[in-house]
Amino acid sequence: MLLVDILTLWVSFLLIWALVNRGVPVFQELVRDMTDFFMEKALGPGADLFEGREGSGSASWMMHGMLWTCIGGTFTFIGLWMAHEPDAIASLSSIYYEPTTATVQTAGLNAATGGILMLLIGAGLHINARLSGVALASDTNAVLVSYAFSMSLLLGFLSDHMSGTWGDYLCTAAAIISVLVIVAILANHLLTLGRRSNHTIMPSQWLIVGGLGMPLIMCVADFVLGVDDTLSESLGVLPMLAGALAVALYVVPHEAGVPLWSRTMAGATVLMTFMTLSPIGVEGANGVSINDAGLLTIFYAASMIPILAAAGNVFQTARSNWGQSSSSAASSAVLLGMFLLVGSAIGHLFLGADAHSEDEIQHLASSMETLFLWGGMAMIAWGGVMSCFPQATGRSLHSDETNRMTTWFVAGGATLTFLFSMGSSMVSSAYDAAAVANASIDADLIDMSATANLDTLASIAFYAATMGAILMMLNMIRGSFSGTPLGTDEPASPSANRIALTPGSTTIRQLLAAGAGTDTELDVICDRCDEEE
């Protein structure tokens, strides 16, 4: 029964909340020591392969993630192109590579999803360590499992190209490896939280731990109790969505140099992210009754609350110090991502509700998926990379200009792709409906050149996103090898050594405008003061 399953979901969130706050009674030390042992020493020679320098785990996840984002972007572009020209890469059959359009699209979607998730997990590792006030519990383990997750993405990528038993074997292996990796990352996060020097657990940390932990607990609940398919469907997007919200709530205040605007809205974001069901990625489970569909619709609608609360919170935070916030490429990317996330969440709300009822607008699903993944998630992940990667590696990214350019490439490319592909889907759906309604129309004789043109424009627009990912990857490689070490930069603008003031009131803003810096000496000149004394 769906209602009971939703109660199980809430109980699992309460369980996470209690365990993180209180620890495991009696066995606390034992569990901590054993987890610590399994994270490094139990891995034997595997752990000796990597240095485990501070920040290396986060940097490794982001590097791998951006590589998979590039691969995913490339195959998504090819898939979009093959939608209007199925024989586009037919010449590759000479090297025995002749996939169908659906195969390329699935492989591209899975690779891009995995890559963007890796970017968010990498940023999350850095964020949790920073907010805890300590180093990550085990950077060695984080580096090691980043390679394992990359391997699982590779196996998944290969299985997408294979049919039959071997495809199933590879898919199963990829799923098992990725679950084990997520368990390891969750353990790393919990150990880091356990060693924290800052008492308060910040909203971003709750979102990171809950986003990784809740789907795992619900998987166990599914094995033991049996959970409704509709609920399992909704949990699929949770690690990525919660990770993105965590990154957004960290990056914008950090870049703007001001506190997060509202504590209540941050709390609402955390609570409602895990207490509602997201319609994003829902395709419609079989055998959903009308009552369940109604209940799901309410929970889908409620899932808008955390997204709107997070968006409002980060926009107000950015507004508090708009000058610094808008001049940061990371903050700009996150703000763009939040804006597009709200748009895609509203679209998915209608799609999700429709999936369990009339099934009338499902032709918009792939366009909406592109907007969510590349417009919302990728842009927030971009912000996370631009803000966290330099701190993790200790070197700034190669070019700030490239940061800003790739932000616009990906945001513009994803938005235009969404608009063109949505237009094409709506036109072709209208043609199909007309052909069904009027039996005298031969569907094969309808001129579909309009949709072909829109599909062409969609694929060309997406090329910008692909190139943006490749340029960002180059920026990261150059930055990690030869970027300027952090802390050795020249000051952004020279400040005055001494400013003379006359008696009276002034504001900090006026002083800053006059060229004052933190080391500027203020000298109040008063001719009559000595006489008065």
Partner 1 sequence: MTGASNLPDITLGDDEPPMARVLLVICIVGAMSLLILHGVLFPGSEIPALGDMISLFGGLANSGIWIFLIGIMIGFGMMVATVMGEALED
What residues make contact with partner 1 under the rule CB under 8 A? 67, 70, 74, 77-78, 81, 85, 87-91, 94, 460, 463, 466-467, 470-471, 473-474, 477-478, 481-482
Q: 275 vs 470, which CB is nearer to partner 1?
A: 470
Q: Which among 220, 67, 235, 75 has a CA at the least distance from the CA of 151?
A: 67
Give least dist CB 71 to partner 1, A. 9
Give least dist CB 81 to partner 1, A. 5
H helix and E strand count, the chain: 21, 2
Q: 99 vs 243, which CB is nearer to partner 1?
A: 99
Give least dist CB 424 to partner 1, A. 17
Q: 88 vs 293, which CB is nearer to partner 1?
A: 88
Q: Which helix (H) or strand (E) holds 494?
A: none
Let me know: does 119 contact 147? Beta carbons within 8 Å.
no
Distance CA 238, CA 314 (A): 20
Q: 134 vs 477, which CB is nearer to partner 1?
A: 477
Label residue 507 left, alpha or beta by phi (over 0 means left) and psi (-120 to 50 means alpha).
beta
Distance CA 162, CA 159 (A): 5
- Two tokens, residue 152: 């699982």
Give least dist CB 230 to partner 1, A. 38
Give least dist CB 528 to partner 1, A. 29
Give least dist CB 68 to partner 1, A. 13
Let me know: does 498 contact 523? Beta carbons within 8 Å.
yes
Cα 378 from chain centroid (whole Å): 6
Distance CA 96, CA 51 (A): 40
Give least dist CB 347 to partner 1, A. 28
Q: 73 vs 156, which CB is nearer to partner 1?
A: 73
Q: 234 vs 402, which CB is nearer to partner 1?
A: 402
Q: 106 vs 475, which CB is nearer to partner 1?
A: 475
| Helices of type H across 303-394 | 304-320, 322-326, 329-355, 365-370, 378-393
Please report the beta strands in 39-175, taking only residues with DSSP state E, as ranges in sequence order: none
Distance CA 93, CA 243 (A): 40
